[in-house]
């Protein structure tokens, strides 16, 4: 694409003031997605965006397999009969299901659903695969698209009718093993989303009235976007025996008795995680990508001079490329665009490290490094390059994570009354901790009276004090909860 400075400045709105416009512009100009497919809620992942997505997927899949999960792939269609077997589940999803009713000109005898989630697709097969305690634990995952007829306003990557995710579905002998899996799920999410992608999140237990349909308990991962709203980017659920009893997922135990499996499921919101990376880390120059997921980790740009033998610059730049190829995703840009055009284009794409090579660098046997996260240049000896890059790849995500955590911390405060929400919101706060009675009626009233602030879930590590009162009704408080606006 290659935009000049004046074009970039014109095309990129000020992110701090016009986040939505900035987001829409960057999604297209950086080649992340295209919304012009023509079906509402469905997007096209463009090459650059899909390369980033594949790198995110790889991080999660490697960690899932390192913790004992095996990859599977189930069909996208689900029998209506299976979808309706678990009553809570179908009640929660029926209004969002895409139904297939015809094949050509023939009306199907039984409707088929496009996968909204895969419990009812996978567990009938689990009942055939798992027969003995020796088959357990069984841990499987698939990376797929799911389909839900979202009735709210759609938003690319944030809220759509088709989105990418990873779902893991596990079966255990005992409840304790299943509960431990939900803890491991959180650890996986922390290791990848927080440590490698630099996205901080708040971990809460969803209220009884807000849990996954058919689950005993739901635990969610919410992150804070720059506009002050939170986005759910992952969940893990303790299902107990609700689905195993419905789908006859039982095993012959060590004592000779047949028992139903204890189950968990885990959803990693890939599309939303990608959106979070772009929105949280990006700036007015474009994207800033963590080193590990950048399709191009290092770009080399020759800086020519009319009074210098530029073939020497090209030769030196090629030697630097050869030095880095194989270990890093590196690109040498020998196009005839000006250095300024290249700088602004690679800033837009969020390339973590830029190497600039001109006559000075050739003569001194050095390179000039530009760090996208810091927007700082530094000249180093060529012999120091590998070491500098290894240090930088760790520092970049640390810088991005620290910035995101600082924004989250500055947005968070404790409140004593419903009136405090408006007062502190005017001061720039958007995440509120408060005592709550855990009643759905109070949650609905809170959202209606505060212009969209809602109870996001219960803090597991915070207890209410004796005599604490609900922020909404004044009744006995049972939990400390997170209150925020959400996508």
Whole-number mean pLDDT of the chain?
Answer: 95
Q: Give the pTM.
A: 0.95
Find the mean pLDDT for residues 125-133.
98
Other Cβ atoms within 10 Å of 440 Cβ, number: 12
pLDDT, tens only, 87-116: 788 788 888 999 999 999 999 999 999 999
Q: Is the pLDDT of residue 3 over 50?
A: no
pLDDT, tens only, 254-307: 999 999 999 999 999 999 999 999 999 999 999 999 999 999 999 999 999 887
Q: Is the pLDDT of residue 453 over 70?
A: yes
Q: Is the pLDDT of residue 339 over 70?
A: yes
Longest dimension (CA), the chain: 87
pLDDT score recorded for residue 4: 43
Closest by CA to 198, choosing from 59, 40, 6, 48, is: 59
Q: Is the pLDDT of residue 6 over 70?
A: no
pLDDT grade for 213, boundaries at 50, 70 and 90? very high
Q: Is the pLDDT of residue 5 over 50?
A: no
Burial of 306 by CB count in 10 Å (0-12 exposed, 13-18 middle, 19+ buried)?
exposed
pLDDT, tens only, 403-449: 999 999 999 999 999 999 999 999 999 999 999 999 999 999 999 99
CB neighbour list of residue 81: distance below 8 Å, 6 or more residues apart = 110
Find the mean pLDDT for residues 144-172.
93
- 224 vs 218: CA distance, rounded Å: 19
Which pair of structure tokens corresponds to residue 228? 């002050």
The CA–CA distances, whole Å, from 95 to 91, 147, 148, 249 equal 8, 12, 9, 27
Find the mean pLDDT for residues 208-216.
95
In order of their start, the domains of the chain are 5-281 (3.30.930.10), 296-391 (3.40.50.800), 412-484 (3.30.110.30)
pLDDT grade for 2, boundaries at 50, 70 and 90? very low
Q: Is the pLDDT of residue 9 over 80?
A: no
Q: Say if residues 58 and 329 touch (Cβ distance below 8 Å).
A: no
Other Cβ atoms within 10 Å of 91 Cβ, number: 12
pLDDT score recorded for residue 415: 97
CB neighbour list of residue 223: distance below 8 Å, 6 or more residues apart = 199, 200, 201, 202, 230, 231, 233, 276, 280
pLDDT score recorded for residue 111: 93
Q: Is the pLDDT of residue 397 over 70?
A: yes
% of the chain beyond a pLDDT of 70? 98
């Amino acid at each position: 694409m290659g935009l000049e400075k004046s074009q970039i400045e014109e095309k990129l709105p000020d992110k701090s003031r016009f986040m939505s416009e900035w987001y829409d512009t960057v999604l297209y100009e950086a080649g992340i997605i295209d919304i012009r497919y023509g079906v509402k809620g469905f997007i096209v992942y463009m090459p650059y965006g899909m390369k980033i997505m594949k790198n995110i997927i790889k991080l999660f899949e490697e960690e899932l397999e390192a913790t004992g999960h095996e990859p599977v792939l189930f069909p996208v269609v689900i029998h209506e009969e299976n979808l309706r077997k678990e009553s809570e589940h179908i009640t929660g999803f029926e209004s969002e299901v895409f139904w297939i009713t015809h094949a050509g000109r023939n009306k199907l005898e039984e409707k088929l659903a496009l996968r909204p989630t895969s419990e009812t697709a996978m567990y009938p097969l689990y009942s055939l695969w798992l027969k003995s305690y020796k088959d357990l634990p069984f841990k499987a995952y698939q990376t797929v698209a799911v389909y839900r007829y979202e009735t709210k306003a759609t938003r690319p990557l944030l809220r759509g009718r088709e989105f990418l995710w990873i779902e893991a579905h596990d079966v255990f002998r005992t409840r304790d093993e299943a509960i431990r899996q939900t803890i491991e799920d959180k650890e996986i999410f922390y290791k990848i989303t927080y440590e490698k992608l630099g996205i901080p999140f708040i971990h809460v237990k969803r209220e009884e009235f807000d849990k996954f349909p058919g689950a005993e308990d739901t635990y969610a991962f919410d992150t804070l976007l720059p506009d002050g709203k939170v986005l759910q980017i992952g969940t893990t659920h303790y299902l107990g025996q609700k689905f195993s009893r419905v789908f006859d997922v039982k095993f012959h135990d060590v004592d000779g008795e047949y028992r139903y499996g204890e189950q968990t499921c885990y959803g990693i919101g890939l599309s939303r995680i990608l959106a979070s990376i772009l929105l949280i880390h990006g700036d007015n120059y474009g994207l800033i990508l963590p080193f590990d997921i950048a399709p191009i980790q290092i770009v080399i740009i020759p800086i020519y001079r009319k009074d210098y033998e530029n073939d020497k610059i090209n030769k030196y730049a090629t030697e630097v490329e050869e030095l880095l190829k194989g270990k890093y995703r590196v690109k040498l840009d020998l196009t005839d665009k000006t250095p300024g055009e290249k700088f602004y284009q690679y800033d837009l794409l969020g390339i973590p490290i830029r190497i600039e090579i001109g006559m000075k660098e050739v003569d001194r046997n050095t390179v000039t490094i530009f760090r996208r996260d810091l927007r700082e240049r530094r000249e180093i000896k060529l012999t120091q390059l590998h070491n500098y890059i290894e240090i930088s790849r760790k520092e970049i995500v640390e810088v991005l994570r620290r910035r995101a955590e600082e924004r989250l911390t500055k947005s968070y405060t404790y409140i004593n009354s419903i009136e405090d929400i408006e007062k502190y919101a005017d001061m720039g706060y958007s995440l509120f901790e408060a005592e709550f009675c855990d009643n759905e009626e109070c949650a609905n009233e809170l959202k209606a009276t505060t212009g969209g602030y809602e109870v996001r879930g219960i803090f597991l590590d915070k207890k209410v004090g004796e005599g604490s009162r609900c922020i909404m009704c004044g009744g006995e408080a049972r939990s400390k909860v997170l209150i925020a606006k959400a996508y």
